[in-house]
Amino acid sequence: MTRTVAAPTAWTRDTLREEDWLIRLGGGRIPDAEALAGRVVVALNQGPGLILLRGWPGDDLDALYHGFGGLLGTPRAGGPTLVTRAAAAQERGGMSDRELAFHTDRAGPPGPPRLLGLFCVRAAARGGDSLLVSGHSVYNRLARDHPAALAELRQDFHFGAGPGFDRVYPVFRWERGRLRVQYNRYWIERGQREAGKPLSARTLAALDAFDGVLSDPGMVVRCHLRPGDLLMLDNNVILHGRTEFTDSGAPGHGRCLARLWVD
């Protein structure tokens, strides 16, 4: 019998309770950053694998990244990355106003970050909702409905390469009793193609089965980030995506998020 995940991380839209992943901050200040970080760590490690802090005071992104992020782990070098709508040359992915497919972040050396943070600096005029899915629930659904797909998804995939660094890892792997999930259909197909290793029909069917689970609305939690919202995700468990959005068009007033990577 295929091993499945029996943990709070294996949630769906109907089983995830708001009180398990939403913390409302009041008073325009953080009274005890260490205590708050402790609550975040519990939610990420022992809870659903995500947490939303609503109403973060101020917009000092470096302090947020290295200060609060440092209480959660080790922030990646370079500081926060602003994610805004960019030129047409960058229309694929996070720098676009188009819908963004479900994925986990790849990053560079030494590999995918443990935690992903998204801090809302400015919201879009319309749309741009964050979409969240538990990779553990996807695994459980595949174990039930498409068990043959799991064997294919445990093999190594090329998620693309960088200078002196090949991104190669499986979609699913068990490590120290915890299931790690890494997924990005676009980069898997592109990475395999660039590596000269085309995907077999069986592997494509397994990826299609994964995407079929992602297409089930009952798997998806939808969240509209407001200015001052900080969404933290376990990047080894939670897949995120985004709906398309429309900005006002005024310079300096478009949708803007700051991305945080923490190990």
Q: How long a stretch of residues is the chain?
A: 263
Residue 1 has pLDDT above 90, yes or no: no
Residue 31 has pLDDT above 90, yes or no: no
pLDDT tier at 261 (50, 70, 90 boundaries)?
A: very high
Task: Calculate the CA dihedral of residues 89, 92, 98, 104 and round it to 10 degrees.
Answer: -150
Percent of the chain with pLDDT over 90: 76
pTM for this entry: 0.93
Amino acid 253: pLDDT = 75
pLDDT per residue as tens digits for the range 113-159:
999 999 999 988 888 999 999 999 999 999 999 999 999 999 999 99
* DSSP letter, residue 32: -
Amino acid 87: pLDDT = 37
pLDDT per residue as tens digits for the range 48-62:
999 999 999 888 999
Amino acid 90: pLDDT = 41
Amino acid 99: pLDDT = 86
Residue 85 has pLDDT above 90, yes or no: no
Residue 201 has pLDDT above 50, yes or no: yes
Do the beta carbons of residue 72 and residue 38 sit within 8 Å? no
- Using CA atoms, how far apart are residues 80 and 165, in angstroms rounded to an integer? 22
Amino acid 59: pLDDT = 82
Amino acid 96: pLDDT = 64
- Using CA atoms, how far apart are residues 127 and 133, in angstroms rounded to an integer? 18
The residues, ordered by sequence, that sit 6+ positions from 172 with a Cβ below 8 Å of its Cβ are: 139, 150, 153, 154, 179, 180, 181
